[in-house]
Structure 1
Amino acid sequence: MDKTQTKFPTVTMYGIDVSKMNMKETVQHLTEAIQHKKTHQVITANPIMFMAALNDATFAKAMQSAELVVPDGTGLVWAADYIGQPVKERVPGFDLMFELLKVANEKQWKVYMLGTTAEVIQGSSAKLKMQFPNVQFVGARDGYFSENEDMQVIEDILKLSPDLLFVARSVDTQEPWIYKYKHKLDIPVMMGVGGSFDIIAGKLKRAPKWMQKLRLEWFYRLLQQPSRYKRMLDLPKFVFRVKKDKHIITEKR
């Protein structure tokens, strides 16, 4: 595969290049990546992930090495604006996945779904097959496998040659796992989708539009999953850190 990547505008935050492209441009960029068979790890980033990167060198490496990091969290949109390098708009990972599936439906691309529980992955797969009948959903399996099983999972995926791989695992596993194996997988688009399958399957609900507009999706998620409160504490920490580091945040690391 040709690994030459198309250049696009970015803002650097803590050594991680975040795309300034809007949704339409992002979808076009990834469509071209699939058409030209260019390997892309896509990270839909938020402040929690940035705080993890600041505290974990392995996680930071995964984010720094990704071919495309989009500003999913509203905190990143705020941070880019605060340091004087605004992005065009927020690019929510959930919406990006669906926009890619629309293109996949037109072009009859192959999709593999990996992660979450067996019940959720099968439920979400069934719903997506109904919504996108021309997409070739070539495989779906749960994310509960050990490191010793990684190679078998990868071999199973490779046999099916998907154009898109959507991965839904825990925050500390998802991006590092894709980063570790992306060159072995060599799939045009590999994207972490977090809790997206849970929403599609109906296990979780997405915040209503008015809450999305008010940038309160994180709060709606917290109401559904109170156990996430410790993780949510990283949001104010991120704001404090950006304000403190305003003049050095864009320096390369």
Structure 2
Amino acid sequence: MGSTIQKYPEIKLLHTRFHQITCCELLDYITDVAKQRKKTVVGNVNIRAMNFAYTQPWFQDFINTSDLVFCDGFGVLLASRLSGYKLESKHRTTCADYLDKLAKACEKESLSLYLLAGKPGVVDRAIAKLSIVAPNLKIGGHHGYFEKEGHENEAIVAEINQFKPDILYVGFGMPIQERWILDNMHKIDTRVFLPLGACLDFYTGTLPRAPKWITDSGLEWLARLLTEPRRLWVRYVIGNPLFFYRIFKDILSERLRALMQRPVSL
């Protein structure tokens, strides 16, 4: 972790940064760095990530020191536009939408992929589905329901190292997956760490996903809230307005600061 990507413009909201990058550019970047010897972290941000970064310094540091960070949330895209950045819909990449493309790109470049995510059975269904899309892809995986420290964790690390994946997909949900990567990346033999949340659940149909016209219009959060209201109401009913309150407060502060710095004509 550490080097920023000069090729892609950097967006900064509430002192947390990500890159202006399209899905195709993201896939090219992942496959390129997967061929290099150094370890690379590719993060992503949505409103939940931004809220974590605002209140948890270690998480903000994880995002700000990741080698590349892409936008995975319509709310962050909208906030960027309100803040004066010229982002388009193409600069938002949802993980469940590009997993097939990632598998095909890995197959084409002879790169291996390891999935560490989901409940028992979800990874098996994802591997079966991806093997149809990319039949020559070297792919392995393990579910994400294990103790994240101690003997069980060490056994999982050993299993990953035996596979030696070029790309390691980690999907425990935020911020558990990011904390796990920080705690374990020094002992894992892989080149790219890719934290992707609940992507496999949507990809395999374990969790229902809203129709494309809803996801494209920025209302996927509402569909998820209606599907899992007890679990997600705090994240969306409180988290979304809180994020935009912070954004508008920041915009207002910047405008007042600019006004105060304007020279006074006598």
**Please, what is the CA RMSD of the aligned residues?**
2.2
SS in 2 for 1:212: helix
Query: Could you tell me which of 199, 204, 209 is aligned with 1:206?
Result: 209
- Preserved CA contact (<8 Å) 1:20 1:86: no
SS in 1 for 2:207: coil
Please tell me whether residue 231 in structure 1 is matched to residue 260 in structure 2. no
Equivalent residue number for residue 167 of structure 1:
170
- Preserved CA contact (<8 Å) 2:122 2:143: no
Query: Could you tell me which of 182, 187, 190 is aligned with 1:184?
Result: 187
Equivalent residue number for residue 127 of structure 1:
129
Equivalent residue number for residue 97 of structure 1:
99
Mapped to 1, the partners of 2:37 and 2:212 lie a distance apart of 35
Equivalent residue number for residue 251 of structure 1:
none
How many residues matched?
Answer: 248
Structure with the greater relative contact order (CA < 8 A, sep ≥ 6): 1 or 2? 1
- Preserved CA contact (<8 Å) 1:44 1:92: no
Mapped to 1, the partners of 2:168 and 2:211 lie a distance apart of 27
Mapped to 2, the partners of 1:182 and 1:164 lie a distance apart of 12
Structure 1 gap segments, 5+ residues each: 249-253
Mapped to 2, the partners of 1:95 and 1:169 lie a distance apart of 18
- Preserved CA contact (<8 Å) 2:38 2:191: yes
Query: Could you tell me which of 133, 138, 141 is aligned with 1:139?
Result: 141
| Residue correspondence of structure 1 range 27-46 to structure 2 within 5 A | 27-46=27-46
Structure 2 gap segments, 5+ residues each: 255-266
Mapped to 1, the partners of 2:24 and 2:198 lie a distance apart of 23
Equivalent residue number for residue 222 of structure 1:
225
- Preserved CA contact (<8 Å) 2:164 2:189: no
- Identity among equivalent positions (%) equals 26
Equivalent residue number for residue 74 of structure 2:
74
Residues 45 and 230 of structure 1: CA distance in aligned 2, closer, same or farther (over 3 Å): same
- Preserved CA contact (<8 Å) 2:114 2:168: yes
TM-superposed deviation, 1:4: 6.3
Mapped to 2, the partners of 1:145 and 1:3 lie a distance apart of 28
TM-superposed deviation, 1:5: 6.1
- Preserved CA contact (<8 Å) 2:52 2:59: yes
- Preserved CA contact (<8 Å) 2:169 2:194: yes
Q: Which letter maps to 2:154?
A: M
Q: Which letter maps to 2:244?
A: V
TM-score normalised to the size of structure 1?
0.89
Deviations 1:37-88 (A, max 9, x none): 4422122210111111111222222222211111111111111111112334
Mapped to 2, the partners of 1:108 and 1:143 lie a distance apart of 29
Mapped to 2, the partners of 1:16 and 1:53 lie a distance apart of 7
Residues 32 and 146 of structure 1: CA distance in aligned 2, closer, same or farther (over 3 Å): closer
Query: Could you tell me which of 81, 106, 109 is aligned with 2:108?
Result: 106
TM-superposed deviation, 1:186: 5.0
Bigger Rg, which one:
2
Q: Which letter maps to 2:218?
A: R
Residues 182 and 9 of structure 1: CA distance in aligned 2, closer, same or farther (over 3 Å): farther
- Preserved CA contact (<8 Å) 2:46 2:71: yes
Mapped to 2, the partners of 1:128 and 1:144 lie a distance apart of 23
Deviations 1:121-152 (A, max 9, x none): 22222222222211101333333223213333
SS in 1 for 2:175: helix
Equivalent residue number for residue 249 of structure 2:
244
Mapped to 2, the partners of 1:183 and 1:98 lie a distance apart of 29
TM-superposed deviation, 1:184: 2.9
- Preserved CA contact (<8 Å) 1:170 1:194: yes
TM-superposed deviation, 1:155: 2.1
Residues 167 and 187 of structure 1: CA distance in aligned 2, closer, same or farther (over 3 Å): same
